[in-house]
Copies of this chain bind each other. A is one copy, B any other.
Amino acid sequence: MLHFKRDIPHVPYSAMRYPEETMVERSKEFYRLLNQRRTVRLISPEPVPREVIDNVILTAGTAPSGAHTEPWTFVVVSDPEMKHQIRQIVEEEEEVNYRQRMGDKWVKDLAKLRTNWIKDYLDVAPYLILIFKQTYGILPNNKKKTHYYNEISVSIASGILLAALQNVGLVTVTSTPLNCGPQLRLLLKRPANEKLLMLLPVGYPAPDATVPELERKPLEDIVVHI
C-alpha cells in the first residue's frame, strides 16, 4: 500500500447519501445500463461530438492511481490519414501473429480468411483512443520517479472510460494490439516513459452490427460471501 506525504492538508469529505430503497434501485439501474455493453467490431462512420469524447476522458481521469500519480495519457485520433497509418501497423503485426500462431494449414487458408486480421474499424470509427500508461514520471531534477501499479491504475481508468462510453450510447472494442506498442508510440510521438496499453475505436454501432451470442457468468459464479 502506498501513502501520501503527511503534510498534505486534509479536508472534510461527505458523499451523497441515498435512502436504502433508492440505493438498491440505483444499483439495479446502473447494472441494467452496463449489462447492455458489448464489444462491437462494426462501428458506424457517423461523427460523434468531440465534447462527449472529452467528457468521457475527463471521467476516466477520476480513477484512483498509486500515490495519485495519474499515470495515463489518452491519445484521441480523428485524422483519417493517421487512423490509416495506425491500421497499417496493427494489421501488419496481426498478420505475423496469425501466421506464426496458426501453423501451415492456416497459412494455406490465408487468402479466404483474410478478414481475420483486417481491422476495418480502425479506418471507419470516427475516433481511435490510444491509452498509454506512464511507466515512470520525471522529477523536477530530471530523475525518474517510479509509477507503482501504473498498469493496474490505467486499466481501472479504462474501466471507468468504458462505463462512460456506455452511458452515452457509444461502443468500442477493447483491443490490446500485440507487438504494435513501440511503432504506435513513435508514430504518435509519445515519450519513452509511455507504453501503449489499449487501443479503442469509438463510435456509434453500425446499423448492421452483430455480436457473438455470449452470456455472462451468473452472480453465484463470480461472488463468494464469507
Nearest Cβ on chain B to A125's Cβ, whole angstroms: 14
Contacts of A177 in B (CB 8 A): 1
A167 proximal to B (CB < 8 A): yes
A78 pairs with B225, CB closer than 8 A: yes
Question: Nearest CB to that of A11 among chain B residues?
Answer: B213
Interface size on A, as a range, is 35 or more
Near B by CB (< 8 A), chain A positions 168-196 give 168-171, 174-178, 188
A26 pairs with B167, CB closer than 8 A: yes
Number of copies: 2
A140 proximal to B (CB < 8 A): no
B18 pairs with A168, CB closer than 8 A: yes
Question: Nearest CB to that of A23 among chain B residues?
Answer: B168
Contacts of A38 in B (CB 8 A): 13
Contacts of A224 in B (CB 8 A): 73-76, 188
A31 pairs with B164, CB closer than 8 A: yes
1/0 contact trace for A6-37 toward B, CB 8 Å? 00111111111110100110111011001111
1/0 contact trace for A62-87 toward B, CB 8 Å? 11101010101111111100100000
Question: Nearest CB to that of A63 among chain B residues?
Answer: B159
A225 pairs with B31, CB closer than 8 A: no
Question: Nearest CB to that of A40 among chain B residues?
Answer: B13
- A64-B36 contact in complex given A26-B167, A210-B11, A223-B57, C-beta closer than 8 Å: no
Question: Nearest CB to that of A217 among chain B residues?
Answer: B70
Contacts of A208 in B (CB 8 A): 12
Give Cα A4–Cα B14 distance, bound, in whole angstroms: 45
A175 pairs with B1, CB closer than 8 A: yes
A162 pairs with B168, CB closer than 8 A: no
B52 pairs with A23, CB closer than 8 A: yes
Question: Nearest CB to that of A70 among chain B residues?
Answer: B217
A114 proximal to B (CB < 8 A): no
A3 pairs with B116, CB closer than 8 A: yes
Near B by CB (< 8 A), chain A positions 45-59 give 49-52, 54-59
A-B pairs, 9 with minimum CB distance: A159-B159, A155-B155, A27-B55, A156-B159, A10-B210, A8-B212, A13-B211, A34-B62, A31-B59
